[in-house]
């Protein structure tokens, strides 16, 4: 019976640690979050951390993966105009930023700046997440090009990467400005000029 | 005689600490750099730090200011086409990034992600630096618009901010990708599409 409970409980402890770790890393950064902070926030014993992760770095890799899967970038439903679905995805992220008064930023950008030089594991996971997101944006740009929703003639994959990188830059600037202006600059320049 | 030497030496010690602090903060981040690391790198006694700075945070403000004054963004000489001078400024930064194999990133973006939520002093200095740089870019964009070097009709100040933010996003992505692609995406999209 006990071993049955253990088998059921273990994945849940790991998931609790990943969720709490994600929140701590997002709010305080990697250096600013200790394993003890994370297990305390998860409500699990500190020792249980090492049953699931060999290091804080390994947790950070998992937290980045989880964040990418649920970060709020959701393009609109298939069937509508591609540019409207693209805008919808960034508007959803904008609402999240506003909810945090432009603090915290994007975990991908934060971890990139803090860890890219120091952890190959985290860097590889960030590269994968950003590449996937860029490809999703590129597919929408390509659809908009095919349907003549945009006059932009550039390579859709390049535009996809550029748009994601520009979003990250806008988010960083919005943390400094503590207002919407960088995000508005992004929407106006991308949708009313670049993709018009 | 001793007091004369002190008077001459003090500003130099402060400048040494700022230069060493800038390099440490850029390479290791704020949390990763201790006052001891910084004074050791500067070759000055640890105690001398507090003759010049009340805290590591105050040093970070000064380091950001110094970086902004010398970060390598130098537009071409007056007189040439404005877009060529604008491109020249970013090419100079690109050469610096390449020199560091795309590690380190931009101190402004790094400090923004690490400290914007935690230090109002650093955040204010970053805001000032990014605003000044954006205004310099905007002036070149406006000149290009007046001289019909570009068909881009958007507000030059908005474009200036957008271009700076997109550069920062490209630099962050280049740390993850460890290659030129994000920077090439920036040059092609900004100069061949947005400002064409």
Strands (E), A56-148: none
Whether A172 sits inside 8 A of B168 (CB atoms) is yes
Whether B114 sits inside 8 A of A29 (CB atoms) is yes
Whether B185 sits inside 8 A of A158 (CB atoms) is yes
Question: Which residue of chain B is at minimal alpha-carbon distance from A118?
Answer: B28
Check residue B73 and give its pLDDT. Answer: 72
Higher pLDDT pick, A38 / A101: A38
HEC string for B169-192: HHHHHHHHHCCCHHHHHHHHHHHH
Whether A130 sits inside 8 A of B31 (CB atoms) is no
Instruction: Specify the domain boundaries for CATH 1.10.357.10 within chain A.
Output: 71-194
Q: Which residues of B touch A193 (CB under 8 A)?
A: 152-154, 194
What does the alpha-carbon distance between residue A108 and residue A122 come to, in Å, rounded to a whole number?
A: 10
What does the alpha-carbon distance between residue A92 and residue A72 come to, in Å, rounded to a whole number?
A: 6
Q: In the numeric block, which tokens belong to residue A52?
A: 């699931």
Mean pLDDT value of segment A168-174: 97
B47 vs chain A: nearest CA distance in angstroms? Answer: 25
Determine how many CB atoms are found less than 10 A away from the CB of residue A95: 10
CB B69 within 8 A of CB B26: no
What does the alpha-carbon distance between residue A113 and residue B114 come to, in Å, rounded to a whole number?
A: 8
Whether A176 sits inside 8 A of B116 (CB atoms) is yes
Buried b (16+ CB within 10 A) or exposed e, A66-80: bbbeebebebbeeee
Mean pLDDT value of segment A136-163: 96
Q: Which residues of A touch B186 (CB under 8 A)?
A: 162, 165
What does the alpha-carbon distance between residue A76 and residue B180 come to, in Å, rounded to a whole number?
A: 32
Check residue B69 and give its pLDDT. Answer: 85
Whether A173 sits inside 8 A of B165 (CB atoms) is yes
Q: Which of B123, B153, B185 sits opposite A162 (nearest CB)?
A: B185
| Range A2-57 has CATH code 1.10.10.60 | yes
A137 vs chain B: nearest CA distance in angstroms? Answer: 14
What does the alpha-carbon distance between residue B75 and residue B133 come to, in Å, rounded to a whole number?
A: 11
Instruction: Specify the domain boundaries for CATH 1.10.10.60 within chain A.
Output: 2-57
pTM of the model: 0.92
Mean pLDDT value of segment A161-168: 98
User: Which residue stretches of B33-78 are H helix?
Assistant: 35-42, 49-52, 56-70
Check residue A1 and give its pLDDT. Answer: 42
Q: In the numeric block, which tokens belong to residue B83?
A: 């877009």
What does the alpha-carbon distance between residue A147 and residue A110 come to, in Å, rounded to a whole number?
A: 36
CA B131, distance to chain mean position in Å, is 12
- Which candidate in B105, B109, B113 is best for mutational testing of the A interface (most A CBs within 10 A)? B113
- Which candidate in B68, B133, B166 is best for mutational testing of the A interface (most A CBs within 10 A)? B166
Would you identify the CATH topology of the domain B2-56? Arc Repressor Mutant, subunit A (1.10.10)
Check residue A12 and give its pLDDT. Answer: 85
What does the alpha-carbon distance between residue B119 and residue A39 come to, in Å, rounded to a whole number?
A: 26
ipTM: 0.91
Instruction: Specify the domain boundaries for CATH 1.10.10.60 within chain B.
Output: 2-56
The helix/strand/coil state of A25 is: helix
User: Tens digit of pLDDT for each residue in A49-100?
Assistant: 999 999 999 999 999 999 998 766 777 677 789 999 999 999 999 998 898 8
Check residue B102 and give its pLDDT. Answer: 87
Check residue A10 and give its pLDDT. Answer: 53
What does the alpha-carbon distance between residue A100 and residue A153 come to, in Å, rounded to a whole number?
A: 36
Check residue A74 and give its pLDDT. Answer: 73
Nearest to B167 by CA among B73, B79, B26, B35: B73
The highest-level CATH class for domain A71-194 is mainly alpha
Whether A176 sits inside 8 A of B32 (CB atoms) is no
Whether A161 sits inside 8 A of B182 (CB atoms) is yes
Whether A166 sits inside 8 A of B165 (CB atoms) is yes
Give me the total of CB pairs closer than 8 Å, taking one residue from chain A and one from chain B.
Answer: 149
What does the alpha-carbon distance between residue B22 and residue B20 come to, in Å, rounded to a whole number?
A: 5
Nearest to A189 by CA among B185, B153, B192: B153
CA B66, distance to chain mean position in Å, is 9
Low-confidence ranges of chain B (pLDDT < 50): 1-3
Name the burial class of residue B60, with classes exposed (0-12), middle (13-18) and buried (19+) by CB atoms within 10 angstroms of its CB. Answer: buried
Cα dihedral across residues B144, B145, B148, B149: positive or negative: positive
Question: Which residue of chain B is at minimal alpha-carbon distance from A27?
Answer: B117
């Amino acid at each position: 019976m006990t071993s049955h409970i253990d088998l059921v409980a273990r994945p849940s402890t790991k998931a609790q640690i990943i969720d709490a770790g994600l929140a701590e890393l997002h709010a305080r950064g990697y250096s600013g979050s200790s394993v003890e902070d994370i297990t305390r926030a998860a409500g699990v014993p500190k020792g249980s951390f090492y049953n699931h992760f060999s290091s804080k770095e390994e947790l950070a890799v998992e937290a980045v993966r989880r964040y990418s899967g649920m970060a709020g970038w959701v393009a609109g439903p298939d069937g509508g105009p591609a540019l409207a679905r693209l805008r919808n995805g960034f508007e959803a992220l904008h609402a999240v930023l506003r909810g945090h008064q432009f603090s915290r930023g994007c975990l991908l950008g934060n971890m990139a700046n803090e860890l890219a030089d120091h952890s190959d594991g985290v860097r590889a996971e960030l590269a994968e997440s950003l590449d996937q997101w860029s490809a999703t944006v590129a597919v929408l740009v390509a659809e908009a090009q095919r349907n003549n929703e945009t006059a932009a003639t550039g390579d859709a994959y390049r535009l996809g990467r550029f748009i994601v990188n520009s979003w990250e830059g806008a988010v960083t600037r919005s943390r400094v400005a503590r207002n919407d202006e960088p995000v508005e600059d992004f929407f106006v320049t991308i949708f009313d000029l670049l993709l018009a």
